[in-house]
Amino acid sequence: MQSGQTNFVAMAGFAIFIGLSLVITWFAARKTRSTESFYAAGRSITALQNGLALAGDYMSAASFLGIAGLVALSGFDGLIYSIGFLVGWPVVVCLIAEPLRNLGKFTFSDVVAFRLRQTPVRVAAAAGSLAVVAFYLIAQMVGAGNLIRLLFGLQYETAVVIVGLVMLAYVLFGGMIATTWVQIVKAVLLLTGAAMLAFMVLMKFSFNPLALFEEAARQYGNGVLAPGGFVAGKVEGVSLGLALMFGTAGLPHILMRFYTVPDARTARVSVAYATAAIGIFYLFTFILGFGAMVLVGQPAIRAIDAGGNMAAPLLAEAVGGQAFLGFISAVAFATILAVVAGLTLAGAAALSHDIYVHVFRGGRASEKEELKVARGATIALALLAIFLGIAFKGQNVAYMVGLAFAIAASANFPALVMSMFWRGFTTRGAQASILFGTVSTLLLIYLSPTIQIDMLKHPAAIFPYKNPGLFTIPMSFIVGIFVSLLTPEPAAQEGFTRLEHQIHVGEEEAV
Amino acid sequence: MSDSEVHLTRVAAARWRLALLLTAAMTVIYVGFILLIAFNKPLLGTVLMPGLSLGILLGMLIIIIAWVLIMVYVRWTNTHYDHRVADARRTRQEGR
């Protein structure tokens, strides 16, 4: 593969996918008349559909290109990410999915604010959501720009603008219905693409994955099958692991998907489908990563992109030629587009539903007015995404996603859990916990070696670890508990009984 | 508190117990795996048979375990919890 060379199959795949998503948008736009359809697809998505859409929302370019690249370049160490991205799902289904569906309407702030004072909680929760969305968006946009530049020979900036505008068109007009279907199509494409790729790799090893791993170990030493220097210290490893595990349960665009189904049972079952799809996909990444290591070779992968992000496309070219490379490239593009759409919608919901409607209008905005503001917020976020994508050109994609997970785990997850489980949780407690989680994570990352030594070239970092999760997650809980104890709130305690009831029976039944 | 409320409270407690148990199980297994990586890299590098190290075997097992835990939760709630919540609702409506 030559960088910047135009691949016509990729171009065609890319055009077909854009065309398909615009057709979906056209159909969806006719049904998108209310806030319920714009944010939550009219709550009419089935369990299997939502499961695939969750998978499509979750498996980002960082998963497909990033992990395959990490495994190809460092073997076992890359798998730490694959596994970390999956173990958050049992937490989501056990603790979060059903209560969220039964308590809220559109955003996870609905749950935290359920029995607390609306304004302060919504401001904090929206800030937490937007911080996660912003870093996640940067990662996706930077990934998209690089990918398209490499694959189609377009300028980085042009590529970022195209992704932003296509995404804007379908979120703006098709809302959650279009976003859901684009995510479903993308999930099916990604699973099919990864399966075909794995199949073609295994064909060369008589369908025995161990033969592939053995060949990798023969070429690069047994070290590729063992943990290496990636998780350097003990603290670092646990810290990263906790952020990946609990971050999933605090990602606003994932949580928002649970509002698109009719009831809690469907929400729960959809996680089973989602995890099946995501789990199978991550098992494929084992094959793809080692396949690229053996069949493409580490030097060739590094030559195209030092971070290894092009390992999967290069592997596709090695086993299936130009046409297959084109197909996999189009799949990678679809992957990014679908995730960016989910993120933008979650950000727009935080801005319009939480900030505009509940903070500025005291919960009294008409449907039409809210929909208008939501669309305005979508346009603003799409422009922001384009701007961030260009401003952060050259940043490490996997690192930005890790940062988003760390904020989600430290800011959103603790407040969500305490609001559902602890009677004594108060408005001030929620506010303090979310803001502390957001600010402390950002601050510790700023003071970490990643920024201080690698980026700013200072000789030493004030905070010695790259991953702050081990400190910020428990501290957010402690801050929330401590502040709640200092500011007792009888109304919030009374509301807890209603919350406990509604968690199990849903809204209709609550009196 | 009415009978149906007591019944609902009991079902609710049973679900939280299972949910917390499964969450704890996943956390212990995953953090244990990370700690093994941090404290005993050579152990995970042990080659069990050509091409298969202990680390890769455990990694694949964790992905499978995560899925099994979710299936346990979904099956229990689909078969027991939903019915018992529905029962509690019905009793409450009849009692009105």
| 8 Å CB contact of B82 and A265 | yes
Task: Please indicate whether residue B85 or residue A475 has the higher confidence score (pLDDT).
Answer: A475
The total of other beta-carbon atoms located within 10 Å of residue B6's CB is: 11
ipTM of the assembly? 0.91
Residue A84 lies in a domain: yes
Find the CB nearest A505 among B26, B27, B89.
B89
B53: three-class secondary structure by DSSP: strand
Question: Which A positions 375-404 lie with beta carbon below 8 A of chain B?
Answer: none
Find the CB nearest A234 among B12, B30, B39.
B39
Q: How far is B33 from chain A (nearest CA, A)?
A: 10
Q: For residues A392 and A138, is the Cβ–Cβ distance under 8 A?
A: yes
Range list of H helices, A459-489: 469-486
Q: What CATH number did the domain enclosing A255 receive?
A: 1.20.1730.10
Find the CB nearest A272 among B12, B41, B70.
B70
The pLDDT score that the predictor gives to residue A453 is 81
Q: What are phi and psi of A315, to 5 degrees?
A: -65, -40
Residues of A whose CB is below 8 A from B15: 504
| 8 Å CB contact of B51 and A87 | no
**Tokens standing for residue A277:** 């799809």
Residue A301 neighbours by CB under 8 Å, 6+ apart: A69, A72, A73, A292, A293, A308, A310, A311, A314
Average pLDDT score over residue span B6-30: 90
Residue A137 lies in a domain: yes
Which domain does A189 fall in, by range? Answer: 8-395
A470, A504, B76 from A453: Cα distances, Å: 21, 50, 50
Residue A429 lies in a domain: no
The pLDDT score that the predictor gives to residue B61 is 93
Instruction: Report how far Cα A98 is from the mean position of its chain's Cα atoms.
Output: 20
Question: Which A positions 199-218 lie with beta carbon below 8 A of chain B?
Answer: 209-217
The pLDDT score that the predictor gives to residue A510 is 42
| 8 Å CB contact of B38 and A238 | yes
| 8 Å CB contact of A90 and B26 | yes
CA A298/CA A301 separation, integer angstroms: 5
Residue A264 lies in a domain: yes
Instruction: Report how far Cα B15 is from the mean position of its chain's Cα atoms.
Output: 11
Asked whether residue B93 carries a pLDDT value surpassing 80, the answer given is no
The dihedral through the CA atoms of A428, A429, A433, A439 has a sign that is: positive
Residues of B whose CB is below 8 A from A90: 22-23, 26, 66, 69-70, 73
Residue A481 lies in a domain: no
| 8 Å CB contact of A241 and B34 | yes
Tens-place pLDDT, residues B35-69: 888 888 788 888 888 888 898 899 999 999 999 99
| 8 Å CB contact of A279 and B67 | yes
A123, A128, A224 from A351: Cα distances, Å: 9, 12, 46
Query: Which residue, among A109, A131, A103, A134, has the nearest Cα to A122 in the 3D structure?
Result: A109
Residue A499 lies in a domain: no
Please tell me the total number of residues recorded for chain B in this structure. 96
| 8 Å CB contact of A210 and B27 | no
The pLDDT score that the predictor gives to residue A151 is 72
Residue A379 lies in a domain: yes
Find the CB nearest A268 among B26, B37, B74.
B74
A184, A185, A283 from B67: Cα distances, Å: 20, 23, 12
Residue A402 lies in a domain: no
pLDDT along chain A (511 residues), means of 10: 64 83 86 86 92 93 82 86 90 92 90 90 93 90 81 82 88 90 93 94 91 90 79 79 92 94 93 94 91 93 82 91 85 86 92 89 85 92 91 75 90 94 93 95 88 81 86 96 93 87 73 40
Question: Which A positions 239-268 lie with beta carbon below 8 A of chain B?
Answer: 240-242, 245, 265, 268
**Tokens standing for residue A68:** 């395959």
The domain tally of chain A equals 1
